[in-house]
Structure 1
Amino acid sequence: MAPPTPAAPVQNTPATLLHRALVRLAYFAFWSFFRTVRVLNEHNLPPTGAVILASTHHNSALDPTTLSTTYPSNRWFHYWAKSGLFANPALKWIMLNAGNIPVDRGNKDKRKLFLPTFDVLQKGDAVAVFPEGTSYTEPSIVQVKDGAAWCALEYTAMALDAARAGTTKPYPPVVIVPASVVYTNKSKYRSAVILQFAKPIHMDPYIAAYTSPSEGAGRAATKALTHRLQRALIRMSVNAPDWETLSAARMAREILWVDERTIPLDEFTVISQTLVDLFTPPYPNPQTELVKARLLTYYALLQESRLTHEVLSSLPLPRTLDPRRPTPVPSRISTLLLLVRDSIASAIRLPFFLLPLLVHLPVYALGKYVQGMIVDEEEIAQGKVFLGLFLLMGTYSLMFLALWVLLWLSPIGALIAAAVTWAFAVYHVQLVDDNYSSMKHLVAAWRVLLGVWAPQSWDVALNSLQLSARPDKPENQYLKKKKPAAPEPSIVIPVPADGPNSNPGSPASEPETTPSKPAPFKRKKRLPSRRLVRHVLRHRVLACQALFKFLDELARTDGRVTASAHLARVYGFDAQADPDAKPNGWRSGREVVTFLRANGAGVGLVRRKEEWGVGPSEGEETQEEGEGSLSS
């Protein structure tokens, strides 16, 4: 029996003044930190009626901020919160008016547990939940709990009971809308956000089993609905079996799309998952492990030296970058002259940004300090955003007051001061992208120059480079995990003289009952970048050559490539339809390379002998020792 449908749609409750003010403040902070937010498939969102929005949750306070500030129909979201937060009357008033719903997790009676949520749904409002239970940083979705499914099914069952009892109180039918919040780099300033919605999940296929008197039928129906929700969340997010695979895919993406702003955000998740699948066992060919090791080594050295591939690709670098022999003097002089030219060009445009830079310098300094204090933690963006927001509120308040005083504290002066302050904030955001990129370029250029010009005795010895060549694994403070049965294998640099070494991946994390203790914040000691520059530049050549050779081989041989089940169904071949395929499914190598090229992979590279952009220069041979040339 389907739940009753009211004759007229229930109108959404308007947001309170406090809620609108908080969302506006959050929007201002969000807009200042992130470059852009792309919303996909917004047509899947019902503009009215009872909705449970179930979203991924991998960036703490920024995930609800993303949902509240970018929801297309501007509906008022209600978020679940621990009932203990509502004990204080003043805090209770703030929490309720900010759109939060008390949830007593210790209550075993599901109807009493979700009663405040049912009141919201009966009004035709929207509830936003995070079914993973907590915010965490892992390479994949490792847990989706049953709360959203229990709530939706219990509400529908209550509506059926009300219909049988003949009540006239409307119960608008509820749907669950899966959503994902994907960050191109969730801790990076001026990165991008993708918010995607899947088709609504209706309760009709599950409610009969849920209300069945058969033992275990209700729980089975709830689990079936949760699994469907989990599959939808996986399809809209990036999932890797371990951190090594995810880091290798990130590095490959940075090489193929040198300027991250050129990667199409509509396809960002699919592109990233495709690259993850390329480095997920079973591998398409025996060389995949070597390519993965090259990418991981380069990725780790970039992290350690505080350089980026995008910046290095824009620099006039010498061709021979082997740390075991000195760089030719003409190349040094040429590099110096070009860097001086770039420095002068940056200095010329700096005056236009100097005043906003000085005003916002405390915010930048605080963000840098916070990042330096936290080790291996990716979920630091919310700290930067909200600490920056408080500083900016103080900064702009002082600016407004100073201007108002200069204008004799008149009413018109207040309007002018407010307009000038707002225009100044907009001016800063409009200029920050190009100038921020230019400053990073300039700092990296002089780091590289110092490293290239420095005596070779400053370089880290190859046999001492292992610690710097391990990618950081973000610290996961609150996710419940099992203790590993055996220590994870470490990454070994493929030292050319001794031949390549493999890098087996580590198993994915699994949920457990005992939470890990939060690690204390501490500074991470890094090697000076000048001691790593030659190694970074050389391993850049090795990583690029290995990746492009690997992709060319895939396109030429057109072998099978492991693919996630949902990508196999769209772009390749479903495992269920092909008994010889692996469990997940597969795609053809040529189709994968064509897909990457069609979305701009390698477009920004200068081509020489090889189409992808890295190949031997005339008169040189590409050796495993890495004495190749690099097209920048």
Structure 2
Amino acid sequence: MANALAPRTGASDGADAAKEIKGAGFGPMYNVMRFIGERSAAHFFRRVEVIGGHDVPKDGPFILCCTHFSTIMDVAIISAELPHRRPIHYWAKRGLYKRQPFRWILHSSGNIQVDRQTKNNQDLFAGTFKAMEAGEAIGLFPEGGSYTEHRLHSMKAGAAWAALEYAKHMGSDKTKVTIVPASINYTDKSRFRSDAVFQFGPAFSVDEYTQEFLSDAQVATEVAARKDFPFDVQPRDPLASVPHTPGPSIIVSGDNGPHPETRMRLGLDIGDQSRNGSALQTPLDPNGPTLDRAETNGVSLLQTPSSTVSKAPSSSSGARSAVKKLTDRIGAEIYKLTIDAPDWATWHGIKMARELIWTRGGSLPLRDLVPISNAIVTILNLDTPESRKAKEALVTLQAMVIASSTDVYTLNALEKAFGRRSSPRSTSILALIPTGQDAAQALPSLKLSLLYFGEQLLWLLVRLPYVLPLALVYVPAYAVGWGLSLRYASHEEESMASAKSLCAFVIAALTHGLVIFVVAALMLFTPPGWLLGLGVSYAIEKLHVWLLNESYDRIKKLVASIRVLLAVIGVRSGVMPQRGSEDEAVRLAREILYDRPAIQWSYIKTLRMGGLGAGDSAGEKEERQTKAMERPPIASVMGAAIESRKRAQIALAELLATDQVRASTLSNYLPPVRK
């Protein structure tokens, strides 16, 4: 039977599209793609925690509205962890369907083709309506794309338009469509073996808003007219995704956030409904009114000039108001599930504080990731000297982590192994980058560094008999994934995990295939040989996952021990002194973190540009080339990283000891202090 959900590309090729997929909208590639996503997520992340979801419908249509911080990895986690193992559709732009085999793969994996150029909402959402009629699930990202931000991005109105236009398509205010708000938060989305939390908010019915939407005179007229023209026989253009629907980014004071003054970036106003500037640019008219910036009571709003509202033919007040309210509701529910940092400095401070409090990878209670992080936001923005000092010290630590190409968990292990050779002369310097002299004093003795290096090397040699076979299978995958992520995705943090994991999956699949082939060849390609090959491949994969966390942590420690040993030898010989606050390249590592994410590419690019604020004119490019800086040898900043970690730990401890923090919600989550 031809699939009713197959996205149509017009009257001329609708029959061909219908032949491409059989069943209820998902072909064989859906399970293949879901398997790839499951394995990629399982290998990239140490833990994926699922919270809530008990009211996600087992059957019937629903729209999952989720945050979108990590491109394909978000899709992989949703598809793998959605309750009841329900398959879910995603929108895919029309341009991806131009050539085979991509067209067949997209169709077969259940994606709904969308055309951004259409201005007819019924055409825009035709494939989505077909899926809803069949009781299918739809996955949408209301932010409109994947972003790297320190807080929730502005909401687009596409999900609300799709849900309410479905009521118009059905000609009834009883759609039985459910909205399921959700978020995916990461401890560090671009770092291998980090953690992810997939959290669901309370589901609610679209029918709460359909009456107001359908009460609009224009919508009601269109619904009545459509009853004489069955949807199935109307020739339609390809399906279309929601064009970007800009709305105001506003500041709201309330109790939804972790602290009294909650800054909330939504696409629509969730406050006073009579406030100016609530008119929307609708999907029907993506080229409609432009949005002007206005100041209202000291709050920056985006305001639609009233003279331009009439340009959007399907956006009369009733329908527009219903869409606005539903988008507000979706945004407010998603916001409750996210981490809300007011600036990048706070965002970096959150991550560093978590890794100093929960000192080992995998020790942070993931179910409390969002409340813990928002509680840290609160204490880092208190108007106290301790708060300001801790925030600056934590940002400095993040900068030194980037400069030394390591992580806090590894620095924690070094601190435990080496102990403390010296103490800061005064707490007043905790917020500063260590000097070269301080960095050199933070290094261990040559004896300690040699012993630590020997310990890590011995661990690897003892386990070499079973680590080596795993390395032969997986090192090519990790090397290729790492290399491609640096080359093609390093400037976009949200793409790095996807590039690493998916590319690595392809290479690992090839090496596993080679293992199966070799084992089968040794047994002359007999059926038992193929079965044994499959068994060996399966055992290698399971052993790899079982040993991955410890092996990866040990390899990081081994690399760090080599760098520390080189640093100690360099200082003792005078060949490579430790660098600190007097070095411009080291200072830049800290300065870039105030307006951008903490990734290696930001640091490397800034060094190549010769500093911050360099332009792209011909003269500026020439000047930039003369000012370009080389990255300091990693071993030359290991002392600064070790010292910065200790200073941040002291500053954070002083902050946690204050009465304000002891009375805050963060105290409910802190682990017991070891004596």
Bin for the TM-score computed over the shorter chain: 0.7 to 0.9
Aligned match of 2:160 = 149
Evaluate the alpha carbon distance shift between residue 254 and residue 218 of structure 1 in structure 2; reply closer, same or farther with a 3 A threshold.
same
Q: How does 1:176-575 map to 2 (within 5 A)?
A: 176-213=179-216, 215-280=316-381, 283-315=382-414, 316-321=417-422, 323-324=436-437, 327=441, 331-373=445-487, 375-379=490-494, 380-455=496-571, 458-464=577-583, 465-470=586-591, 472=593, 473-474=596-597, 526-553=631-658, 556=659, 558=660
Report the counterpart of residue 62 of structure 2 in structure 1: 51
Cα deviation for residue 392 of structure 1 reads 1.1
Residues 1:445 and 1:17: Cα distance change in structure 2 (over 3 Å): same
Q: Residues 80 and 329 from structure 1, CA distance in 2 versus in 1: closer, same or farther, beyond 3 angstroms? A: closer
Q: Normalising by the residue count of structure 1, what TM-score does the alignment of the two structures yield?
A: 0.75
Question: Which ranges in structure 1 are unaligned for 5 or more consecutive residues?
Answer: 1-11, 164-170, 477-488, 492-522, 559-587, 608-632
Deviation at 1:475, TM superposition (A): 9.3
Counterpart residue type for residue 188 of structure 2: N
Any conservation in 1 of the 2:386–2:654 contact (CA below 8 Å)? no
Query: Can you list the C-alpha shifts for 1:244-264, whole angstroms capped at 9, x where unaligned?
Result: 110011111111111131111
Task: Please give the alpha-carbon distance, in whole angstroms, between the structure 1 residues aligned to 2:444 and 2:542.
Answer: 45
Q: 1:91-102 counterparts in 2 under 5 A?
A: 91-102=102-113
- The one-letter amino acid paired with 1:451 is A
Q: Deviation at 1:404?
A: 0.9
Aligned residue for 1:39, secondary structure, equals strand
Contact 2:65 2:159 in 1 (8 A): yes
CA distance in 1, matches of 2:399, 2:144: 31
For the residues of structure 1 that align with 2:92 and 2:373, how far apart are their CA atoms? 33
Say if 2:473 and 2:512, in contact at 8 Å, map to a contact too.
Answer: no
Aligned-pair distance for 1:382?
A: 0.4
- Identical pairs, percent: 30
3-state SS of 2:179 partner: strand
State the partner residue of 2:18.
none
Structure 1 residue runs of 4+, over 6 Å off? none
* In structure 2, distance between residues paired with 1:404 and 1:365: 27
- 2: CA distance between counterparts of 1:408 and 1:154? 62
Q: Please say if residues 376 and 475 of structure 1, whose CA atoms lie closer than 8 Å, have aligned partners that are also in contact.
A: no
Q: Which shows bigger deviation, 93-102 or 283-292?
A: 283-292
In the other structure, the counterpart of 1:80 is 91
1:607-622 alignment runs, 5 A limit: 607=675
Cα separation, 2, equivalents of 1:329 and 1:244: 27
* Closer, same or farther: CA 530–121 of 1 in aligned 2, 3 Å: same
Inter-partner Cα distance in structure 1 for 2:450 and 2:465: 24
1:596 aligns with 2:607: no
1:84-109 Cα deviation digits (max 9, x unpaired): 33344754433222101122222222
Greater RCO structure (CA 8 Å; 6+ sep): 1
The one-letter code matched in structure 1 to 2:194 is S
| Preserved contact between residue 372 and residue 666 of structure 2 (Cα < 8 Å) | no
CA distance in 2, matches of 1:293, 1:305: 18
TM-score (norm 2): 0.70
- AA matched with 1:297: T
- How far apart, in 1, do the equivalents of 2:166 and 2:468 lie? 57
- Residues 96-134 of structure 1, C-alpha deviations (whole Å, 9 max, x = no match): 221011222222221221111111101111111111111
How far, CA to CA, are the matches of 2:629 and 2:130 in structure 1? 49
Cα distance 1:528–1:201, how it changes in 2: closer, same or farther (>3 A)?
same
How far 1:18 moved relative to its partner? 2.2
Residue 81 to residue 345, structure 1, CA distance change in 2 (3 Å): closer
The Cα of 1:21 is off from its aligned counterpart by 1.9
Report the AA paired with residue 192 of structure 1: D
Q: 1:307 corresponds to which letter in structure 2? A: T
In structure 2, runs of 5+ residues without a counterpart are 1-22, 218-315, 425-435, 600-610, 614-627
Q: Residue by residue, what CA displacement relative to the aligned partner does 1:145-198 show, whole Å, maximum 9, x if unpaired? A: 111101111112333x268xxxxxxx8510111111112221111222211111
One-letter amino acid of the structure 1 residue matched with residue 60 of structure 2:
G
Note closer, same or farther for the CA distance 1:174–1:362 as it changes in structure 2 (3 Å cut).
same
2:37 maps to: 26
DSSP 3-state at the match of 1:127: strand
The letter of the residue matching 1:66 is I
Shift of 1:296: 0.6
SS of residue paired to 2:395: helix
In 1, distance between residues paired with 2:348 and 2:468? 36
Following the alignment from structure 1 to structure 2, what is the Cα–Cα distance between the partners of residues 347 and 182? Answer: 37
Distance in 1 (CA, whole Å) between partners of 2:193 and 2:129 is 39
Is contact 1:296–1:470 with CA below 8 Å preserved after alignment? no
